[in-house]
Amino acid sequence: MTALHLLDNSLRRYDWGSPTRIPALLGTVPDGRPVAELWLGAHHSAPSRAGGVPLHELVRSAPDAMLGRQVSDRFGPRLPFLLKVLAADRALSLQVHPRPHLARAGFNRENRLGIAPDSPERSFHDDQHKPEMVVALTEFDGLAGFRTPRTVLDLLAGLDGPLVAQMRTALETDRSPAGVRSAFTHLLAARTSAQCPGEVATTVEAVRDRLASGSPSARADATVLALAEQHPGDPGVLASLLLNRVTLDPGEALFLPPGEVHAYLSGLAVEVMASSDNVLRAGLTTKRVDSEALLECASFAPRPPAVPDRTTSGAQGGVHTYRAPVTEFALTLADVAGGADLPGSGPRVVLTLDGEVELHAAAVPRPTPLSRGGSVFVPHDAGALRVSGRGHVVCAWVP
C-alpha cells in the first residue's frame, strides 16, 4: 500500500555549528555541543531512515514507485537531491564543489589510489556534481563568487603585507579571470609557508586601523576581522577581500553553481543540493585543503552572486517556490494558514519548521500529522500533495 514515510534524520556536528538552533527546531534539549547540519535525504554517508531502513535502500527497492519513471530514467535508482538545515555560528570553510566530469574523474582517481572512503585525505566522496541553493530562515551571511578586479584593488589599497602586495600585483598585471586566479593561487600557496601567519596578521592589523579610522569599506573590513578572530593566520581571511559579501534576509535565496568559490558565515537556512558530499576546501578550516583539485574545479570569472527564480502562489500568497537552472532539485516553502498545495509528483521530502500540519496525499487514505521538526519522504506514487493546518513547511522536489 502506498504510504508517506516518516523520517529519522542524521545530525552533523561540526565546530562551526550552533548548539541551539537545530535542537530548537527538533524540540530536543541542547547538550552544549554544536549541531551544524540536519540531513534529509539518501546520500550513503548519512542517509535518513524510514522505519529503520536507510532511505537509499528504500528507494532502490522500488524505484519507479518511489521516484517515478521519469526521475528514475534520468538519474537512476537514487534520490537526486539532498535537503539540509544549516545552522552556522561561525564561518564554514572557504570551498568549491566540482562540475560533473571533474567529480567523476576525482572520485575514480582516489579510488584507484586506494584512499579509504572515510579517510581525511579523500576529497571526492562520490562521483556527483554539487550545485546547491540556500534559502535564509534568519538573516544569513556569506561570501559567494569573485568581485571585479577593480573592486578588489580598491579594497587592497593602502593595506600592508606581502600577501596583499602579491594579490595587488596579480590584478594590476591582468584584470581578466586569469589575474583573479593568480591572486587566489598566491593565497593558497602561502598556506605552506612558515611566514604565513605573521604575514596575514600584518594585513589584519592594517585592516583594523583602516576600520577604526572610518573606512569606506567597513563591511569588507569587518568581515576580515571576524574571520581573523575565528581562524588566526589563515590566508582564507584575506581571500574574503576577493569575494562578494552577501546578506540574505529571511526568504531570500542564493544559488551556488559548481565551481563557485564560497563560504557561509552565519545564520540559519534550508539548503537543497544535488545529492553529493564533494567539498574542495581552500581555507578557514582544519580539514584537508586540496589546492590542486580546487584550482582545477573553480571558476574565477568575476560576477555577482546568482539568485534563483522565485514564484509565489496560494490563496494568500504564502507559497514560495525557488528554481535554479538545474534538473536535480527545486524548493517550495509554504506558510500554511488553512491549506496549501505542494508539488504533486516525483519524490518529495517535506519538513515542518513550526506549527502543526497534516499532509494529504491523493493515493494515501489517511492524512499524516507533522509538528515542528517532523519530516517525511513522499514517494511518486502517493500522488498530489496538500498540506493543511497552521505552520511553515519546506518541500524539496525534482522539477
The residues annotated as belonging to the active site are: 281
**Over 90: is that where the pLDDT of 260 sits?**
yes
**Over 70: is that where the pLDDT of 1 sits?**
no
**Over 70: is that where the pLDDT of 105 sits?**
yes
**Over 90: is that where the pLDDT of 118 sits?**
no
> Of all residues in the chain, what percent carry a pLDDT higher than 70?
100
pTM for the whole structure: 0.95
Quick count: other Cβ atoms within 10 Å of Cβ 88?
Answer: 24
Nearest to 302 by CA among 211, 174, 137, 161: 174
Confidence of residue 215 (pLDDT cuts 50, 70, 90): confident
What is the Cα Rg of the chain in Å? 22
pLDDT at 371: 97
Confidence of residue 116 (pLDDT cuts 50, 70, 90): very high
**Over 90: is that where the pLDDT of 139 sits?**
yes
- Full set of structural domains in the chain with CATH: 9-143+247-286+304-309 (2.60.120.10), 148-242 (no CATH), 311-397 (2.60.120.10)
- pLDDT (mean) for 52-69: 97
**Over 80: is that where the pLDDT of 392 sits?**
yes
- pLDDT (mean) for 368-373: 97
- pLDDT (mean) for 196-221: 95
- pLDDT (mean) for 194-206: 97
Q: Please state, in angstroms and rounded to a whole number, the distance separating the CA atoms of residues 271 and 229.
A: 27
- pLDDT (mean) for 276-286: 93
**Over 90: is that where the pLDDT of 297 sits?**
yes
Secondary structure of residue 123 in the 3-state scheme: coil
Nearest to 393 by CA among 340, 322, 317, 316: 340
Q: Which three cell numbers stand for residue 13?
A: 556536528
